[in-house]
Copies of this chain bind each other. A is one copy, B any other.
């Protein structure tokens, strides 16, 4: 942030604006319950205030609620200038749904004041504060800009940490335009960029001119400082030479692709890690994860294991090898038959009289998980999980086996989206061998197994899952849409009885508006639809 302030000063900016809770990261979660942590935020503000000379610095940080009643903290925006704190605005609308827990920590603002600087009157708002335009959002009863308008602000600053989902951009632009339509003011929406564990932020900061046109939208998934001239924004016409202002492209699969790269890069980068490992089965899921890892971390930081068993088909090994060669990553082959047989031997006296079933399938998956973790432990490569959302939903995976890993890369992508992503990756030439995309999906844990032996066709499964998970539709509503009654009952039941498995999976990079993990909190013990 100090570097960015330097850059902004060099560009002769009057104000530099950072994102919501920028001093401590978003979401800080229960770190906020530590007085020591809050003090570190206060210390950061002091440092930034010192740098706020010849420039005003606007930055999000937690502040303390001085009143005993209510929550201990506010989610605030500081206005720093002339070396000190000039103004603090608190957030009024506290998202407490999906991945958001803000009311767990923060008291909502109950007063609203603009801040004056260099003759301009500024309406300072924090994220959700602009999401109740004209009180049309059913979740809230207050509209902060309605409260601020009598003080006649000249423009609006909004500090956000608004997570990415592939359909969020449209909502965001709609809301910004609705604000500008209602208030007729230029708006500067400054959004957090980068990922924190599973939550990805696209940046995509937006400047809207008072006539409602998007004046500029910053490129997605890139940290940057860009300076705007207020008069230019008000006029709605960029005058700078070489200016390429306007909206960014927003194709779903391209956004997901770039978001996952950011999620991977920041998980590794922010934890001080470099190297990843995964099991390459010859199937589509691990192929897509391998390419994402190679693109995010570099081919030299990704290695894969091919771990065939007696149930693996030749094409699996060949396809996996071809992919590894295409993207130039290290691959090693470890045959698992002997380890698998050793387990069966050891269990033989205890398994007497039983026949091959899912137990033996899971032993294979767990043997592979063990080998991957051994390589991970020995060489420091973090194991990437390769499960997709369809599998994770219905519990079609082995805990501690193929469900192992430190980070689930495509756990928020339905199988059909994984296919679409694979096609997208091949757009400039074949990276993922075509055979991986076209062959019928199989776990290859018993002879001639196909996913379709156990699961409905993914085209149908994904649709039902989408209605249940993203749209919170119950069985009656989904059946009404034309899906088979038995299919719906079976799928919903599978989702609910697999909650115990998902409880133990790695964080999943979130790209939809309803991912498994913190944003979807389901009982494990519960009778509903199970």
Contact = CB atoms under 8 A, between A and B. Distances in A.
A35 B467 CA distance: 13
B71 A139 contact: yes
Interface in A127-160: 135, 138-141
B135 A69 contact: yes
A29 B520 CA distance: 9
Contacts of A346: 334-336, 338-339, 371
B521 A101 contact: yes
A97 interface: yes
A347 B374 contact: yes
A523 B101 contact: no
A378 B357 contact: yes
A286 interface: no
A338 B342 CA distance: 7
A420 interface: no
A460 interface: no
Count class of interface residues, chain A:
35 or more
Contacts of A404: 399-400
Residue of A31, A71, A139, A475 most packed against chain B (CB within 10 A): A31
Contacts of A520: 30
Interface in A342-390: 342-343, 345-347, 350-351, 354, 357-359, 362-363, 366-367, 369-371, 373-375, 377-378
Interface of A: 25, 27-31, 33-37, 39-40, 68-72, 96-97, 101, 103-104, 135, 138-141, 195-197, 266-267, 270-271, 332, 334-336, 338-339, 342-343, 345-347, 350-351, 354, 357-359, 362-363, 366-367, 369-371, 373-375, 377-378, 399-400, 404, 406, 472-477, 500, 503-507, 518, 520-528
